[in-house]
Amino acid sequence: MTAVDQIRDTVAQNDVVLYMKGTKTAPKCGFSSRVAGVLNYMEVNYVAVDVLADEDVRQGVKEFSDWPTIPQLYVKGEFVGGCDIVTEMTLSGELDALFEAKGIDYSKDAADKIREANA
């Protein structure tokens, strides 16, 4: 199985997947930390894949999404984006709408608090 096949399977079998540098509780870059922090704070159940643990996965996810940077967020098999896009979607409420449309559980109160803190 190639790295791209492994990524395809992981994204297909899990509702929310974050390809990141580090782990949910110990991110190893600021961008990964920001996206994981948003998901953790919003109480989203997600699978985190540490691309630093496997160079083939690190390169394969870039090929899979045709997106050059890490982190990468996938929801119900669809590529959502990286740090800047997820941050913008969080602040605009678009991430809430996406989670609601896809049936993903999250804390609406936490999402509102993020927006209030950044208003």
Span 25-84, pLDDT tens digits: 999 999 999 999 999 999 999 999 999 999 999 999 999 999 999 999 999 999 999 999
Domain count, the chain: 1
For residue 61, give its domain range.
3-117
Reported as a single tens digit per residue, the pLDDT across 76-106 is 999 999 999 999 999 999 999 999 999 999 9
CA angle 14, 15, 18 (to 5 degrees): 80
CB atoms within 10 A of CB 3: 17
Q: Which CATH number fits the domain that encloses residue 38?
A: 3.40.30.10
Residue 58's SS3 state is helix
- The verdict on whether residue 83 carries a ligand-binding annotation is no
Task: Using pLDDT thresholds of 50, 70 and 90, give the confidence band for residue 119.
Answer: confident
Task: Using pLDDT thresholds of 50, 70 and 90, give the confidence band for residue 1.
Answer: confident
How does strand 47-50 pair with strand 16-20? parallel
Pairwise CA distance, residues 6 & 17, whole Å: 13
Cis link prior to 68 (omega < 30° from 0)?
no
Pairwise CA distance, residues 91 & 96, whole Å: 10
Q: pTM score > 0.85 for this model?
A: yes
